[in-house]
Amino acid sequence: MWDQKFEDLLRGFLPFLGADEPLAQDTALRDLGLDSLGIVELLAALEHTYQVRFQDDALSQATFETPGVLWKVLSGLVEDQAA
């Protein structure tokens, strides 16, 4: 499961997720209001917060499909960074 930083950051880009509604692993982020420009900003925020660098091809709807998928990609980058 992801950390609180990730959850707080992600929620900021999800206008259709109420503060009292849980963020599920497999919810489609697009359905919660994450659009293509939101993806760009979210990616920049994640890079800044976790001090990682996404490759250009990570900037796809697939990477940002669900919170679970995004966290997996992000964790991978963070581990590579540490290695």
Rounded least distance, CB 71 to another protein, Å: 18
Nearer to another protein, 44 or 80 (CB): 44
Residue range at the interface with another protein (CB under 8 A); choices 4-12, 63-71, 72-80: 4-12
Interaction residues for another protein, span 19-78 (CB under 8 A): 19-21, 31-33, 35-37, 39-41, 43-45, 56, 59
Please identify which residue in the block is written with the tokens 């659009």: 35
Per-residue burial over 8-21, b if 16 or more Cβ lie within 10 Å, else e, is: ebbbebbeebeeee
- The answer to whether 40 and 24 have CB atoms below 8 angstroms apart is no
Q: Where are the alpha helices (DSSP H) in 1-83?
A: 4-11, 36-50, 67-82
Binding site for another protein (CB under 8 A): 9, 11-21, 31-33, 35-37, 39-41, 43-45, 56, 59
